[in-house]
Chain A
Amino acid sequence: MKGVDIVRSTVLALVMIAAAGPMVSSVDAQTEGAEAVAIVVHPEVTIDGLSFDQLKSIFLAEQQHWPDRSRITLLVRAAIAPERDLILSEIYGMTEDRYRQYWISKMFRSEVASGPKIVFSTDMLRDLVTVIPGSIGFVPVSEVGPDLKVIPIDGMLPGDEGYPLN
């Protein structure tokens, strides 16, 4: 095929893609309307607080073990939950699509054995975080009950001024 034909084909194909352009994929992170979220851990996790960098490191799976070497299990709400959007925005800095690609990529690179466990409701998360050793998750602050171990971030709790997940 001659070079000029290739250039012509390229231009034609670009025009076709541009014509199909306004098709969009998935959902953008929407954090409006989300209330502050609390970071909760299994009651036997032996930490009393995390820095925001440590929290990011855990949710990005750069840190996969607690200081006692027990494995961390991430619990993440399914898509559409407002608190998930807040986490994607404030911790991951990613859209929903990019978040999925991030975890697929992590597994592809053999950096993690699995992605986060998907949790379909706050009640389910509350149940799981109290029974799965080493688990960590997040819940809207209004859903925090006395059975949950809430972890301060940078020494602050939800509602405190400067708390990073308000």
Chain B
Amino acid sequence: MQRAQVMRGSWLGILVAVLAPAVGLAGQVPDDSNIRAMGFGDFNYLVTERDLKEGFRMGQMVGHVIADLDERFTFFGEVSLTGKDNGYSIEVERALIRYDFADEFKIAVGRFHTPIGYWNAAFHHGSWLQTSVARPEMIKFGSRFIPTHFVGVIAEGGLPGSSLGLGYKVGIGNGRAENIARAGDAGDINDHRAWVARVRSRPIAIVGLEIGATFYTDQLLAPDLTDTRERIYSVHAALDRDAPEILAEYAHVTHDPMTGSGSFPGSDGYYVQIGYRMSGAFRSIKPYARVEQVIVPNGDEVFEPLNLNYDGVVAGIRYDPGVFLALRLEYRWERFEGLGAFNSLYTQASFVLSGF
């Protein structure tokens, strides 16, 4: 599917089109319905020193649907609408069918959030779920550092009886498209599939804690059309709760030409985010902060031309006036390679439509 498919028309019409299933289904269907829906959305206000348009911005409107196709087959779908200068782009973010054989083995085919690290699969387009306004740079919207989507087959499972809460995911797919920010939706660009393997632990004794590691490999085309082997090594530790919240993720990406000799230094990306929901009368307020960096050394033939080097510091406050609504005020200091350093202030309202 082409991201450039732009819908023209009023934003209100689009909003209704995407979220109507969620509004219609959430909490209003009988409990034994085989279809469930959710919607996520956000509105933003931006002031910045960057060369960006300031003012009010429509964020993403995201619709989810989950349907039982059979006792063991389930469909998961996610469609997003993203505001652009000339309308809205529509994207099938996820569409997958999964067969649940047992807790130890489930297998799914379709388009996924690539199971690298934590944030990409845990929050992704569900902005209400995350504490901050936006994702870290290394997995930002349209990320080129980490392939955020994956088209293929993924097997997963866990050992539910273990107190360590061990689990795995193993997948094979198309890997990056010619535009490396895209998944290969219409087929692989070569005959070499991407592989991803992820293990994690969610100790039962500490609800919200997840520690994991991921390995991803693919063959892609560097800008000079050299066949290049990409390998991604990622580790993460996440205490995904309110007081405190600690999210940390690190990824090391290497690109080595398939022909010739030599190995090049890899690129690195990481973030550490800490939040803490206050107590008592102020428990609706959750201050947070994040530091992050993307480091691309000279010699990375894939990343170096893209000017991905980045430093960022984020500090903000999330305020929850209701269960399904979050207001955020976020200050950012960011330095982009070749552009300089900038201050920005984001204000955001995000929500979820859910019958839960």
Residues of A within 8 A of B283 (CB): 24-25, 28
Q: Give the distance in Å from the alpha carbon of A98 to the alpha carbon of B122 in the complex.
A: 15
Tell whether A105 pairs with B68 under 8 Å between CB atoms, given A25-B323, A113-B74: no
Q: Are A22 and B102 in contact, with the CB atoms below 8 A?
A: no
Task: Report the tally of A-B residue pairs with Cβ distances under 8 A.
Answer: 135
Residue of B nearest to A128 (CB): B31
Residues of A within 8 A of B31 (CB): 117-118
Tell whether A97 pairs with B320 under 8 Å between CB atoms, given A1-B47, A92-B207: yes
For B36, give its contact among A58, A114, A118 (CB under 8 Å).
A114
Convert B82-94 into 0s and 1s, putting 1 for each residue whose CB lies closer than 8 angstroms to a CB of A.
0000000000001
Convert B312-356 into 0s and 1s, putting 1 for each residue whose CB lies closer than 8 angstroms to a CB of A.
000001011111000101010000000000011101000010101
Q: Are B345 and A63 in contact, with the CB atoms below 8 A?
A: no
Q: Are A13 and B281 in contact, with the CB atoms below 8 A?
A: no
Residues of A within 8 A of B101 (CB): 69
Smallest beta-carbon distance A39→chain B, Å:
16
For A57, give its contact among B126, B165, B347 (CB under 8 Å).
B165
Q: Give the distance in Å from the alpha carbon of A139 to the alpha carbon of B283 in the complex.
A: 30
Tell whether A17 pairs with B329 under 8 Å between CB atoms, given A3-B49, A63-B160: yes
Q: Give the distance in Å from the alpha carbon of A1 to the alpha carbon of B51 in the complex.
A: 10
Residue of B nearest to A2 (CB): B49
Q: Give the distance in Å from the alpha carbon of A65 to the alpha carbon of B320 in the complex.
A: 35
Q: Are B54 and A104 in contact, with the CB atoms below 8 A?
A: no
Tell whether A6 pairs with B323 under 8 Å between CB atoms, given A64-B100, A110-B76: no
Interface residues on B, range: 35 or more
Q: Give the distance in Å from the alpha carbon of A144 to the alpha carbon of B224 in the complex.
A: 72
Number of interface residues of A (CB under 8 A): 52
For A56, give its contact among B100, B204, B331 (CB under 8 Å).
B204
For A110, give its contact among B68, B94, B165, B323 (CB under 8 Å).
B94
Tell whether A53 pairs with B163 under 8 Å between CB atoms, given A65-B100, A107-B66: yes
Q: Give the distance in Å from the alpha carbon of A24 to the alpha carbon of B74 in the complex.
A: 37
Q: Are A62 and B204 in contact, with the CB atoms below 8 A?
A: yes
Tell me the residues in window 69-116 of chain A with beta carbons closer than 8 Å to chain B beta carbons.
Answer: 69, 71, 92-98, 100-101, 103-105, 107-110, 113-115
Q: Give the distance in Å from the alpha carbon of A5 to the alpha carbon of B48 in the complex.
A: 10
Residues of A within 8 A of B356 (CB): 100, 103-104, 107, 115
Q: Are A9 and B64 in contact, with the CB atoms below 8 A?
A: no
Residues of B within 8 A of A53 (CB): 163, 204-205
For A6, give its contact among B49, B160, B204 (CB under 8 Å).
B49
For A21, give its contact among B68, B204, B207, B285 (CB under 8 Å).
B285
Residues of B within 8 A of A64 (CB): 100, 103, 160
Smallest beta-carbon distance A42→chain B, Å:
15
Footprint of A on B, CB under 8 Å?
31, 36, 38, 47-49, 54, 64, 66, 68, 71, 74, 76, 94, 96, 98, 100-103, 108, 121-122, 124, 126, 129, 158, 160-161, 163, 165, 202, 204-205, 207, 241-242, 281-285, 317, 319-323, 327, 329, 331, 343-345, 347, 352, 354, 356
Besides A25-B321, A62-B103, 12 other A-B contacts (C-beta < 8 A): A17-B327, A21-B284, A21-B285, A28-B283, A65-B103, A93-B207, A104-B354, A107-B356, A109-B121, A109-B122, A113-B74, A114-B66
Identify 22 residue pairs between A and B in the complex whose beta-carbon atoms are under 8 Å apart, listed by A's number. A1-B48, A1-B54, A2-B49, A3-B49, A6-B331, A6-B343, A17-B327, A21-B284, A23-B284, A25-B322, A62-B158, A62-B202, A63-B161, A100-B323, A104-B354, A104-B356, A105-B129, A107-B64, A108-B126, A110-B96, A113-B74, A114-B36
Task: List the 9 closest A-B pairs by CB distance, nearest first.
Answer: A63-B160, A110-B76, A22-B281, A3-B343, A113-B74, A6-B343, A53-B204, A1-B47, A108-B126
